[in-house]
Amino acid sequence: MGNKPITMALAGNPNAGKTTLFNHLTGARQHVGNYPGITVDHKEGSFHQDGQQISITDLPGTYSLTAYSVEEVVSRDFLTTAKPDVVVNIVDASNLERNLYLSTQFLEMGLPVIIALNMMDVAKDRGIEIRVEKLSELLEIPIVPIIARSGKGTKELISQALEVAASSKTMEPRDISYGEDLDESLMELIATIEQTSFLSSAYPARFTAIKYLEHDDEMLRKGQAAAPETARKLEEIVSKTSDHLQATMDVYPEAIIADHRYGFIKAILRQGVLTHKFDTDRLYTSDKIDKVLTNRLLGPVIMLAILFGLYQFTFSWSELPVSWMEALFGWLGGVVENTLPDGLLKSMIISGVIDGVGGVLGFVPLIMFMFFGIAVLEDSGYLARVAFMMDRVFHFFGLHGSSVMPFIVSGGIAGGCAVPGVMATRTLRSPKERMATLLTVPFMNCGAKVPVLVLLIGAFFTEHKALYMFLFTMLAWLVALVAAKFLRMTVLRGEATPFVMELPPYRFPTFRGLVIHTWERTWQYIKKAGTVILGISILLWASMTFPGLPQSEQDLYESQRLEITETLAKQTEKLQDALTGINQEESAATLRNSIAGKVGLFFEPVSSYAGFDWRTNIAMLGGFAAKEVIISTLGTVYSMGVIEADKASSLGDRLVKDPHWNAVVAVSALIFIMFYAPCFVTVVCIAKESSWKWALFSMTFNTIFAFIASVLVFQLGSMFS
């Protein structure tokens, strides 16, 4: 074997264990989940074995190679354009028949393929016995049984895969019979294709012909672009066949093709390849559990109870570690206060760095608890049930069952992020359902909004924190769904598409998996706090400090201080109070005069309808950079004008004491924060996934909506209280 790296692709059904194997081989820590459709983009990595460098690609999971979804197109395009040296087809041994459906299509494409028969442990537990050699003989490709989770059999798998890659003999595309009518039509199509070498660089003739019969949009488009003349001829043959089948049997060619593929698989499995020893298998157990958990009436009730339990767990268990973090940063502030001399540097470190970053990092324990809970739901397979149950509701609002994933990722169970949520919409097939999902996922309570909500709820509604959090999460869902319905009735009007999604069997989550999931997401949050937020806090601090007061005004405050010092020289206590009063006035005047202050003041006449003063406006503007910044900015603006002695009190206390804040303002602010323009990063993602036009639409639509809602809350609330 040469020194050139061998290219290897991992392909298979969703949930077959591709990412687990990928991680095992490369040592990377990709997201592994018991949830279909987790990998949308393909991921690359590399490793060594037998002195050979191997570069490996984890493809998105698919059930077929017909272009029904984005994953299928991504996978197929990769296989035909990148032409990997070997394709490792991961097959879930506990679900053999269904998984082999995809394998038959690799055979038809004539790809150099090897089957990794995964989940042998699960198959064994369920009493499923597979005669691997027999199966390999009948399919005419190598098969290696493995357990991806423990790495068993993977060395053997790779060494056999290397042999496939190295073997000079090319794979012959496998011919599966599709019945008399279709076979005849296929011959005609193949003859036409071969005559003109139609798309022959990418696909074997028979594969192209089959995809034409399956009405594969992507293939039809490619055909038309490459050779319109031949494409037209092929389409004619297909429509003739299609009409004939319709007239005689009332079926579409797609259905017959699927039937025959399953027939081909059944025929193989029946030759003593597959035996069930007993049928009290896990699928059976899963079905039994599902009878209760996805029951029409009981299911949603249990779901709400489980989600509510998640909140209880997160908020009550994290209370103590959160208070430790607060104490830590309070102590740090005190140390700096006492060691550094007064001046710009001290002000920057306390108001910019410690208050800003501390405010964000203080929530790390809470975020970790939340992510841990979500990881349990996801890895056990329950999250997929949530999607399944929510589909009924989603349909009503013009969305699709698959929209649930983006919503949950974005913070449907509070604490996600709209950025991966926006990316996750790629799994949606219909462009309009996809746009409607894309535009409404930012309404969810992402991990960055959670601390802001917690702060305000904690400060103004000390009782029943978990209940309020839960209610605000429900509100986010309600608003997102109504907004989606509104969009689907106006700018995105169109038909709904039916729902198909696999419910994976329930699995006991592994501790390692839970830890990896929790850590990955927490780390993303910390990274943001450590880099972006630090920069923004300092920038905001600068914009709130400069240009400073003109000398004449500074002198005025200085002379006031002198005067008071003289007159009150004997009454030291009163003197201290009077002096801090002046200091406070001076820093408030400085803030007012600063760049940020001017921007905040500029918006005050409008924002006051929603109860926001100019300082809150500064925080909201900062929040556009990243929602976490709202806390750090509030921390900064409300610490700058505060008497030294009060610095030790928490931001929540300071807000409660401030005359501009009360419970009504807090609710109005909560509503605005939940629904106004998505953060800058999300906006960029929306633009990348659709267009800048939609990104701008999202910013203006959300902000206007949020403002109207806050004004209503504030005006009505003020009237009644």
Site residues (CB under 6 A) for ligand GDP? 12, 14-20, 32-34, 38-39, 61, 118-119, 121-122, 147-149, 379, 507, 513
Query: Out of ligand GDP, Mg ion, none, which partner does residue 34 contact, by CB within 5 to 8 A per kind?
Result: ligand GDP
Candidates 7, 26, 34, 39; binder of Mg ion (CB under 5 A) is: 39
The full 3-state SS of 411-478, as one line of letters, equals HHCCCECHHHHHHHHHHCCCHHHHHHHHHHHHHCCECCHHHHHHHHHHHHCCCCHHHHHHHHHHHHHH
Site string for Mg ion, 100-119 (x = CB under 5 A): --------------------
Q: Least distance to ligand GDP from the beta carbon of 428, Å?
A: 18
Q: Least distance to Mg ion from the beta carbon of 478, Å?
A: 32
Q: Which stretch binds Mg ion (CB under 5 A): 39-47, 239-247, 466-474, 580-588?
A: 39-47
Where do we find the tokens 């991961």? 90
For 531, residues 6+ apart whose C-beta sits below 8 A from its C-beta are none
Angle (CA) 456 461 464, round 5°: 115
Query: Out of ligand GDP, Mg ion, none, which partner does residue 17 contact, by CB within 5 to 8 A per kind?
Result: ligand GDP
Q: Least distance to Mg ion from the beta carbon of 74, Å?
A: 13
- Tokens of residue 546, six digits: 């400069």
The full 3-state SS of 267-308, as one line of letters, equals HHHCCCCEEECCCCCHHHHHHHHHHHHCCCCHHHHHHHHHHH
Q: Which stretch binds Mg ion (CB under 5 A): 36-44, 376-384, 529-537, 601-609?
A: 36-44
The full 3-state SS of 519-579, as one line of letters, equals HHHHHHHHHHHHHHHHHHHHHHHHHHHCCCCCHHHHHHHHHHHHHHHHHCCCCHHHHHHHH
Nearer to ligand GDP, 511 or 720 (CB): 511
Nearer to ligand GDP, 36 or 112 (CB): 36
For 682, residues 6+ apart whose C-beta sits below 8 A from its C-beta are 418, 419, 422, 442
CB atoms within 10 A of CB 534: 17
Nearer to Mg ion, 60 or 359 (CB): 60
Q: Which stretch binds Mg ion (CB under 5 A): 37-45, 318-326, 352-360, 461-469?
A: 37-45
Instruction: State which residue has the least CB distance to Mg ion.
Output: 19
The 8-class DSSP code of residue 147 comes to B
Nearest to 395 by CA among 521, 475, 485: 485
CA distances from 585 to 556, 558, 561, 643, 649 (A): 12, 12, 12, 10, 19
Residue 636 near Mg ion by CB under 5 A: no
Residue 410 near Mg ion by CB under 5 A: no
CA quadruple 67, 71, 74, 80: dihedral sign: negative
Nearer to ligand GDP, 148 or 459 (CB): 148
Q: Least distance to ligand GDP from the beta carbon of 391, Å?
A: 20
Q: Least distance to ligand GDP from the beta carbon of 145, Å?
A: 10
Q: Least distance to Mg ion from the beta carbon of 691, Å?
A: 29
Nearer to ligand GDP, 158 or 667 (CB): 158
What is the size of the binding site for Mg ion (CB under 5 A)? 3
Where do we find the tokens 């978990």? 466
Residue 19 near Mg ion by CB under 5 A: yes
Query: Out of ligand GDP, Mg ion, none, which partner does residue 14 contact, by CB within 5 to 8 A per kind?
Result: ligand GDP
Nearer to ligand GDP, 500 or 648 (CB): 500
Q: Least distance to Mg ion from the beta carbon of 39, Å?
A: 4
Q: How far apart are CA 408 and CA 437, in angstroms?
A: 12
Q: How far apart are CA 546 and CA 595, in angstroms?
A: 7
Q: Least distance to ligand GDP from the beta carbon of 427, Å?
A: 12
Q: How far apart are CA 270 and CA 69, in angstroms?
A: 31
Site string for Mg ion, 451-470 (x = CB under 5 A): --------------------
Q: Which residues contact Mg ion (rule: CB under 5 A)? A: 18-19, 39
